[in-house]
Structure 1
Amino acid sequence: MYASIITIGDELLIGQTIDTNSAWMAQELNKIGVWVKRRVAVGDSRKDIWQALDEESQSAQIILITGGLGPTADDITKPLLCDYFAGKMVVNEMVLEHVTAIFRRLNRPIIERNMKQAEVPDVCTVLMNKRGTAPGMLFRKGNCIYISMPGVPHEMKGIMTDEVLPLLKREYKMPFILHRTLLTAGVGESFIAEKISAWEEGLPSDIKLAYLPNYGMVRLRLTATGANKEQLDEQLDHLFAELHVLVKEWLIVAEDIPLEQALGNLLLSRKKTMATAESCSGGYIAHLITAIPGSSEYFKGTVVAYAYDVKEDVLGVQHSTLETKGAVSEETVTEMLNGLLQKTTADYGIATSGVMGPGGGTDDKPVGTVWVAVGSREKMIAKRLHFRFDRLKNIELTATNALLMLFQFIEGEQDK
């Protein structure tokens, strides 16, 4: 069973809006056994949208469309779909009552443009949007189902969860698509591929191995598709256990979770806590950690010590250290970490300081130079890193490496 996702909007093509809808929809479809064959982004062009509908229906049975359902002139999806499926626009009384109730609840006047949200093609099945005014619409043509939803992620997710996914499970007998994922660090994908080449060549034809590298880390994902879930689970578990053994030297976590969640789980298992002192990363590490539900159990807080005086007054970095060694130095991040652990009750900490760019670099500390310290009150380690990307990517890499350093530090303590 194949699906295609069509996202509509000029803002997607010029990069003004990042398409998160497609990724979320693909994940949810995969869970119920639908494989996304293609993801297509088109602008607010009648010709391009029409062409995308024609082309995607040639290779997929399920066409999911997001965007272009708003009340303004640039939202052309609904009238286009009305023409594409040879319908006429009618007022849906259920949607009209829903839209009216929203404005009544907000104590806001409703204008004709808002009421037009209740107009839908008479050839569609309405999918109620409990989170907004633009309804979802389901069309049928040949062997294909077409489902149009708002581009607002919160509204799209509501319609997908309440209407679309249950409908697809009722209408189609889906195969099972199962995955097993682990995360490694310390070596590149080429090295791992060479190490496990004989094992990979012996995989059954219905089991696929994917390499997903990301700057110093590689995820390995096994995927199986079939009708017998119990049999697939047993087969995948056996192969996944073999893969564990082959990559155990670099294994971080045998789950498909982000590194910050793996660190949080490790802290929870040891009944320990952490905090961060961030200069160049500007609180980004704390953001990643606190994005995980339940992180209050192990995360104490952060000090974003960007300026010299904050490093001195809040974290106790010596003025002489900053004057002689500079903010981007082993000595500074070590003193930042020491001050953090004195100021908080955290068991472990991370401290960062670096030159993120595009300016600020020197001959001995070029853009991309970063110092990271991690550790506890008993022991600390610091490491100099060198990145070569733009400011945002350098910040992201600083965070990833800092989290990895602390994870390996804590695991190393347990190994002793």
Structure 2
Amino acid sequence: MMNQQIYASIITIGDELLIGQTIDTNSAWMAQELNKIGVWVKRRVAVGDKREDIWQALDEESEHAQIILLTGGLGPTADDITKPLLCDYFGGKMIMDENVLQHVTAIFRKLNRPMIDRNIKQAEVPDVCTVLMNKRGTAPGMLFRKGNCIYVSMPGVPHEMKGLMQDKVLPLLQKDFHLPFILHRTLLTAGVGESFLADKINEWEIALPAHIKLAYLPNYGMVRLRLTSTGNDEKKLSQELDEQFTELQQQVAEHMVINEDITLEEALGKLLLSKNQTMATAESCSGGYIAHLLTSIPGSSVYFKGTVVAYAYDVKEDVLGVNHETLEVKGAVSEETVREMLTGLLNTTTADYGIATSGVMGPGGGTTDKPVGTVWVAVGTREKAIAKKLYFRFDRLKNIELTAAHAMLLLYRFIKGDNLN
């Protein structure tokens, strides 16, 4: 049987999404998980807590997709209108679900908190839905069928939504639909622009089979290249994709950093583990952000020793041993300072490698010779170190993120033995 291409639409609900108070991470995660099982997300729509807007979104998305996933609006307060709206939309009436009520009651008993009417109403559901028990919260998921479409409503709390998707929704979709295989291969390049890469591999890209597509995913000095193939024969697809991916790696060999679809912090951790070596960080302008990224990886305690957030001059001097004269003459944002920070870090810890950062993140603090976005990074060992001056032109948060990314990339390439001149 030929597998049909199945499309999904994701509707995220809440005024907080439209005014930017809450960043929508749900739809990105859901799209990734759907793609893994062979479902393409055709559209992502955000609507506010307005009945007619949600109703219209349901009507419109059912014209584009067979699967409509909704998150948000299932809480116990007056602005959570999704559940009664869905009851009307699918022509049902609200009933008390005893299993959900028992679940909600057990949660409040465990927390030793009293239940009020609003909490009890969480167990009310439309009688035309299939209830999806939410093990991680009080608001159940709800599944509806209408025409050729499946509609699933889930809480907007990411932790609860992910639990429902993994435990209930994804297995159900795989059972309901004959899904094609969607396979990817991804690599990361650095130090080369998207346009240059496109010119370099243009002839190879044109010659790709019709069912294999190449995507360019640029991100400030780094470009991910992703090959995607869709079809019904997983083994054949995988073999073809591996062959093309091998050729792509050869095409961009001088610029390639990682031939896996993983983050820089994961790649750095894997490299350190493979060498049975460790690292630490001394962070000024990045304020511990590099350490945060590294420690977000499970098992990072094996290779990450820790960090010193040396923001002030006296911490740089007293903890890392930076010379007072260096700071006075050269300034905190200088090659000399980051080199001394790195030396002090490696003298203070047992780490094999280190990263040191110092810069001007903005919006203030810049000077004529050191404008906002100027960053010095040093990486290395006790025997050898290199320092590099970087320039970023964005706001404070983005400058911090870019400092972290480029610092980890610099250390990764240093450990690999790449030519960094």
Which TM-score band (shorter chain)? Answer: over 0.9
Deviation at 1:104, TM superposition (A): 1.2
Match of 2:20? 15
Letter in 1 for 2:300: S
In 2, the alpha carbon distance for the partners of 1:266 and 1:152 equals 34
- The within-5 A match list for 1:331-346 is 331-346=336-351
Match of 2:393? 388
1:275 has 2:280 as partner: yes
Deviation at 1:270, TM superposition (A): 1.4
SS where residue 336 of structure 2 aligns? helix
1:60-83 Cα offsets, whole Å, 9 max, x none, are 000000000000000000010011
SS where residue 95 of structure 2 aligns? strand
1:83 has 2:88 as partner: yes
In 2, the alpha carbon distance for the partners of 1:346 and 1:203 equals 45
Match of 1:233? 238
SS where residue 133 of structure 1 aligns? coil
Match of 1:59? 64
Match of 2:263? 258
In 2, the alpha carbon distance for the partners of 1:179 and 1:379 equals 38
In 2, the alpha carbon distance for the partners of 1:105 and 1:375 equals 51
Fraction of identical pairs, as percent: 79
1:360 has 2:365 as partner: yes
Letter in 1 for 2:31: A
Query: Which one of 196, 199, 204 corresponds to residue 199 of structure 1?
Result: 204
1:403 has 2:417 as partner: no
Query: Which one of 140, 144, 152 corresponds to residue 139 of structure 1?
Result: 144
Match of 1:34? 39
Note the aligned Cα RMSD (angstroms): 1.0
Letter in 2 for 1:68: G
SS where residue 395 of structure 1 aligns? helix
Match of 1:152? 157
In 1, the alpha carbon distance for the partners of 2:272 and 2:136 equals 37
Query: Which one of 378, 381, 391 corresponds to residue 376 of structure 1?
Result: 381
Q: Structure 2 vs 1, CA of residues 183 and 413 (structure 1 numbering), >3 Å: closer, same or farther? A: closer
In 2, the alpha carbon distance for the partners of 1:293 and 1:111 equals 39
Letter in 1 for 2:81: I
Size of the aligned set, in residue pairs, is 415
1:142-165 Cα offsets, whole Å, 9 max, x none, are 000000000001111111111111
Deviation at 1:94, TM superposition (A): 0.9
In 1, the alpha carbon distance for the partners of 2:100 and 2:413 equals 54
Deviation at 1:216, TM superposition (A): 0.8
In 2, the alpha carbon distance for the partners of 1:395 and 1:413 equals 25
Match of 2:117? 112
Letter in 2 for 1:248: A
5+ residue gaps, structure 1: none
1:162 has 2:167 as partner: yes
- Normalising by structure 2, we get a TM-score of 0.97
Deviation at 1:267, TM superposition (A): 1.1
In 1, the alpha carbon distance for the partners of 2:406 and 2:174 equals 41
Deviation at 1:297, TM superposition (A): 1.3
1:324-343 Cα offsets, whole Å, 9 max, x none, are 11101111000000000111
Deviation at 1:294, TM superposition (A): 1.4
SS where residue 352 of structure 1 aligns? strand
Match of 1:347? 352
Match of 1:212? 217
Deviation at 1:268, TM superposition (A): 1.2
Deviates more, 1:328-337 or 1:404-413: 404-413
5+ residue gaps, structure 2: 1-5
In 1, the alpha carbon distance for the partners of 2:379 and 2:329 equals 22
Letter in 2 for 1:209: L
In 1, the alpha carbon distance for the partners of 2:164 and 2:370 equals 51
Query: Which one of 328, 332, 335 corresponds to residue 330 of structure 1?
Result: 335
1:329-372 Cα offsets, whole Å, 9 max, x none, are 11100000000011111111000001100111111111111111
Match of 1:179? 184
SS where residue 150 of structure 2 aligns? strand
SS where residue 401 of structure 2 aligns? helix
Query: Which one of 287, 294, 297 corresponds to residue 289 of structure 1?
Result: 294
Deviation at 1:414, TM superposition (A): 10
In 2, the alpha carbon distance for the partners of 1:414 and 1:306 equals 31
SS where residue 316 of structure 1 aligns? coil
In 2, the alpha carbon distance for the partners of 1:93 and 1:6 equals 28
Match of 2:321? 316
Match of 2:250? 245
Letter in 2 for 1:219: R
Query: Which one of 77, 89, 103 corresponds to residue 72 of structure 1?
Result: 77
Letter in 1 for 2:327: L
Deviation at 1:413, TM superposition (A): 6.8
Deviation at 1:263, TM superposition (A): 1.0
Match of 2:3? none
SS where residue 302 of structure 1 aligns? strand
SS where residue 81 of structure 1 aligns? helix
Match of 1:189? 194
Deviation at 1:317, TM superposition (A): 0.3
